[in-house]
Amino acid sequence: MKIPYSWLKEFVDTRLSPAQVQEALTMAGVEVSSCRFLGEGLDSVVTARIIEMRPHPDADRLSLCKVTDGSTTFGIVCGAKNMKAGDAVALAKIGARLPNGVEIKKAKIRGQASEGMLCSEQELKLAEASAGIMILPEDTDPGKPLADALGLSDWLLEVEITPNRGDCLSVLGVAREIASITGEKVVLPGVPFPEEGEPIGDLVRIDVSDPDLCPRYTARAISGVTIAPSPDWMRRRLALCGIRPINNIVDVTNYLLLEVGQPMHAFDLDRLRGSRIDVRAPKETLTFTTLDGAERKIDPGMLLIRDAEGPVAVAGVMGGENSEVVDGTTRVVFESAHFSPPSIRRTAKRLGLSSEASYRFERGVDPAGTVYAADRAVSLLSRFAPLSVAKGVIDVGGGNVKPRTVPFRPDRATRIMGRVYAPEACAEIFGRLGFPVSDDGTGTWNVTVPTNRFDIEREIDLVEEVARLSGYDSIPTTYPESKAPEFSVDDRSVDVQERAFDFLRGRGFSQAVNFSFVAGRTWERLGALLGFSPADAVRVVNPISDDTTLMRPHLLTGLLSNAADNVRRFVDDVRLYESGKAFGKSYAEGHFEEPRLGVILCGKRLPGDWSGADAPADFFDMKGVVEPLLRHLCASPVHVVPTRLRPFFEEGKAADILRDGEAVGWFGAIRRELLDSFELTGPVFYAEIRLAKAAASPPPPGRYAPLPKFPPVFRDVACVFPAGVPVGDVLAMVRVVSPEVEEAAVFDIFTGEKIGEGNKSVGIRVKLQPLDRTLTDAEVHSIHSKIVNLLENRFGGKIRTS
């Protein structure tokens, strides 16, 4: 909310400068985000009057003006045409530096000297655009600083009001806050006006049929009104605060909304059918046109202001076209009411219509202030022009407004805040706030809270008042007593993640962070390729864009687009990982979320290597990352098995990682069609690990086995297999041929004509390690035969003899 400093000063004649007000309010919890001097850049701009104006002899589009500031005459060359001799204008003298940054220098324009510049509103940053130079009101005296003439020797405070402080949504509210800080007094302007018209009861009848939703309804009526523009000062203030001036009646209601925070509405009394107002929520659905011209659907329960025939306003939100003040209006009823905050909020939300009025009613408008606001409106109007004020005020529910009392124990503030607040200090603060205190000696005070403070209902609310007005600076710094920390499941997850991040970092992978939401259209387009039906996805009801409609069911698409983006930026070797949640729906649990680790790899096997040429990464580079990673996370033993369950992988280049029979991850080469749709060419390898499953329950600590004291024996076996034989299975079986086999590893593998089409040759090195003796040749021979037997009979291999 924007508030001019000068307006605040009308309510509290504070000794604080604008900058001090900013600091004091901010440190009391009413943040002032900026405090701007309005006359910035207007130092050498004065009011002046045009004495003479004639065309420039050498330029059709320029004029030569003689202007005076009352004492000196200046010759000015001007490009605008909207002025005439006698007009009051804004003259920027030589040396002025305008708000738009232009510096005014003595200049010769097409041979004619120009001793300054006549300014437009745009040049003075008083308007976004302007058609010509600024013409000031006729009665402007020349030679005054323009800032003074326009009321710009003032500061504009931008105040951020938290939702609990509806009472501060006005000049009066902020002035009260200043007074609470400084101990100064708030003074309300007097509201004198002649009350000589007919009794108001003869003009209009008002009923409140739903008093729960409208606890108080106050009205004043005037007649003999002439609709006209408001005085300049009022129009200027409204504009400064961001409200467009309309006419004297509407403007005065808006002025009071800003000044005392009371939203008001003006009805044209002659347009109220039956001269009647009834505040009532309808029982049926109906439509109604608000004064912004929109037709609104009104549901039962939304509070309306009705006349004898139907709705004339949506209470507290917006008036209706059918009863608004128009040019010919002569009789007006001012509504100054209090509506229940939740009711207004519900209605505004449902209508998708938020107004300055509804914003304030939602946050709480002082029910005690309705009569003052109505009186102030009438009083201001009667100062502008003659009119007749109806006798009396209608005030339905006025007797029900009562302040609340809240119990307060001074030692409670000390207990919560950790510093001592003397009872006298608390009492003094309540005094500044205008909260009467009664102390019956029991240690619990009764504090009376004015009706404007909707945020104070409980003792803790009073503790906060004491703490904030004493200043948080005065709270000491102590340390909470330390206790042995627990070690939670999530502490372990954090540790596991850190281990994974460190490992991957060491292997050259950088970390990505993608949004958890993905574009539903990508999923619909790629459908089955992604291996997840969009129908099973968690959907965002109100996405911010098309790219954020589904919660991602896995991390693949994010990392794939990251790879594509990087390749597009000429970074061809992409090694990225991401740790984040995957989301989905399941019939049993409604929805699930699971922490995952995605890893993507494309480009060279060893980026930056100068010795191994440009070997591209392949499946085994990914496997060589994922398997040791899982071991590093204590997630062994795991088994890698071929899979056909992941449609985003190339067939035959995909594997699942099993732990205790459950897939805890998968990796493989991304399928061609998918690469095409992400505009990626080279092979791309991807792995995704279900972190919580993979690293759940760390394995027991390793058991020591005695180290062998006898030398091992190595035997190499070369064997030709049909290409489809899984070497991993072969090795696993070789390892269990005999207890002496400690290790079996591949040292060579090749295919080619020499060994026949559809075959592969595999060289296996077997390490035999007895624990308790040196192997004899016969024993070695026997184990070797068993291995040969296994390879030939179990796997259809043929031993190669070289």
| Using rule CB under 8 A, residue 151 touches other proteins | no
Structure tokens at 419: 């510093």
Beta strands 437-439; 286-289: pairing state:
unpaired
Rounded to the nearest whole angstrom, what is the least distance from the CB of residue 560 to other proteins in the complex? 11
Q: Which of residues 489-508 bind other proteins (CB under 8 A)?
A: 490-491, 493-494, 498, 501, 504-508
Alpha helices, H only, 649-689: 672-677
| Using rule CB under 8 A, residue 113 touches other proteins | no
Rounded to the nearest whole angstrom, what is the least distance from the CB of residue 583 to other proteins in the complex? 7
Rounded to the nearest whole angstrom, what is the least distance from the CB of residue 359 to other proteins in the complex? 8
Tell me the angle at which helices 423-433 and 459-470 cross, rounded to the nearest 10 degrees: 90
Rounded to the nearest whole angstrom, what is the least distance from the CB of residue 649 to other proteins in the complex? 22
| CB closer to other proteins, 193 vs 685 | 685
Distance CA 34, CA 26 (A): 10
Q: Which of residues 352-381 bind other proteins (CB under 8 A)?
A: 362-363
Q: Give the Å distances, CA to CA, from 313 to 305, 317, 326, 687.
A: 5, 8, 15, 61
Contact region with other proteins (CB under 8 A), list: 220-228, 277-285, 481-489, 731-739: 481-489
Residue 364 corresponds to which amino acid?
Answer: G
Distance CA 88, CA 68 (A): 10
Rounded to the nearest whole angstrom, what is the least distance from the CB of residue 349 to other proteins in the complex? 8
Residue 718 corresponds to which amino acid?
Answer: A
Count Cβ atoms below 10 Å from residue 584 Cβ, excluding itself. Answer: 19
Contact region with other proteins (CB under 8 A), list: 76-84, 370-378, 430-438, 558-566: 558-566
Report DSSP letters for 17-47, one per residue.
-HHHHHHHHHHTT-EEEEEEETTTT-TTEEE
| Using rule CB under 8 A, residue 461 touches other proteins | yes
| CB closer to other proteins, 203 vs 463 | 463
Structure tokens at 668: 């493989």
Q: Check if the beta carbon of residue 88 is closer than 8 Å to that of residue 137.
A: yes
Enumerate long-range contacts of 651-659, CB under 8 Å, 24 or more apart. Answer: 653/619, 655/623, 657/626, 657/630, 657/689, 657/694, 659/635, 659/693, 659/694
Q: Which of residues 613-632 bind other proteins (CB under 8 A)?
A: none
Closest CA to 394 of 351, 340, 334: 334
Distance CA 213, CA 473 (A): 42
Rounded to the nearest whole angstrom, what is the least distance from the CB of residue 147 to other proteins in the complex? 22
Q: Which of residues 308-347 bind other proteins (CB under 8 A)?
A: 341-342, 345-346
| Using rule CB under 8 A, residue 476 touches other proteins | yes
The binder of other proteins chosen from 246, 286, 606, 731 (CB under 8 A): 606
- Residue listed under structure tokens 């619990």: 444
- Residue listed under structure tokens 């076209």: 321
Rounded to the nearest whole angstrom, what is the least distance from the CB of residue 63 to other proteins in the complex? 41
Rounded to the nearest whole angstrom, what is the least distance from the CB of residue 339 to other proteins in the complex? 13
Q: State phi, psi for 260 to the nearest 5 degrees.
A: -115, 0
| CB closer to other proteins, 29 vs 397 | 29
Q: Which of residues 564-603 bind other proteins (CB under 8 A)?
A: 565-566, 569, 571, 574-576, 579-581, 583, 590-591, 593
- Residue listed under structure tokens 């850049």: 41
CA atoms within 13 A on the CB side of 244: 2
Distance CA 232, CA 210 (A): 40
| Using rule CB under 8 A, residue 475 touches other proteins | yes
| Using rule CB under 8 A, residue 482 touches other proteins | yes
Rounded to the nearest whole angstrom, what is the least distance from the CB of residue 704 to other proteins in the complex? 32
The interface mask with other proteins, positions 62-101, x = CB under 8 A, is ----------------------------------------
Q: Give the Å distances, CA to CA, from 405 to 309, 411, 437, 609, 628.
A: 42, 18, 9, 78, 68
The binder of other proteins chosen from 60, 295, 486, 753 (CB under 8 A): 486
Q: Which of residues 510-539 bind other proteins (CB under 8 A)?
A: 510-517, 538-539
Structure tokens at 403: 């302040």
Rounded to the nearest whole angstrom, what is the least distance from the CB of residue 582 to other proteins in the complex? 11
| CB closer to other proteins, 64 vs 169 | 169
Distance CA 771, CA 707 (A): 8
The interface mask with other proteins, positions 408-437, x = CB under 8 A, is -------xxxxx------------------
Query: What are the residues whose beta carbons fall under 8 Å from the beta carbon of 259, sequence distance 6 or more?
Result: 7, 170, 171, 172, 376
| CB closer to other proteins, 100 vs 162 | 162
Distance CA 520, CA 538 (A): 10
Rounded to the nearest whole angstrom, what is the least distance from the CB of residue 262 to other proteins in the complex? 18
The binder of other proteins chosen from 330, 548, 677, 769 (CB under 8 A): 548
Rounded to the nearest whole angstrom, what is the least distance from the CB of residue 590 to other proteins in the complex? 7
Q: Check if the beta carbon of residue 744 is closer than 8 Å to that of residue 786.
A: no
The binder of other proteins chosen from 64, 67, 463, 680 (CB under 8 A): 463
Rounded to the nearest whole angstrom, what is the least distance from the CB of residue 670 to other proteins in the complex? 17
The interface mask with other proteins, positions 218-247, x = CB under 8 A, is ------------------------------
The binder of other proteins chosen from 120, 248, 322, 562 (CB under 8 A): 562
Rounded to the nearest whole angstrom, what is the least distance from the CB of residue 492 to other proteins in the complex? 9
| CB closer to other proteins, 493 vs 782 | 493
Say whether 418 sits in a helix, a strand or coil. Answer: coil
Structure tokens at 411: 């030692």
Rounded to the nearest whole angstrom, what is the least distance from the CB of residue 522 to other proteins in the complex? 16
Contact region with other proteins (CB under 8 A), list: 31-39, 189-197, 525-533, 718-726: 31-39
Size of the site for other proteins (CB under 8 A): 96
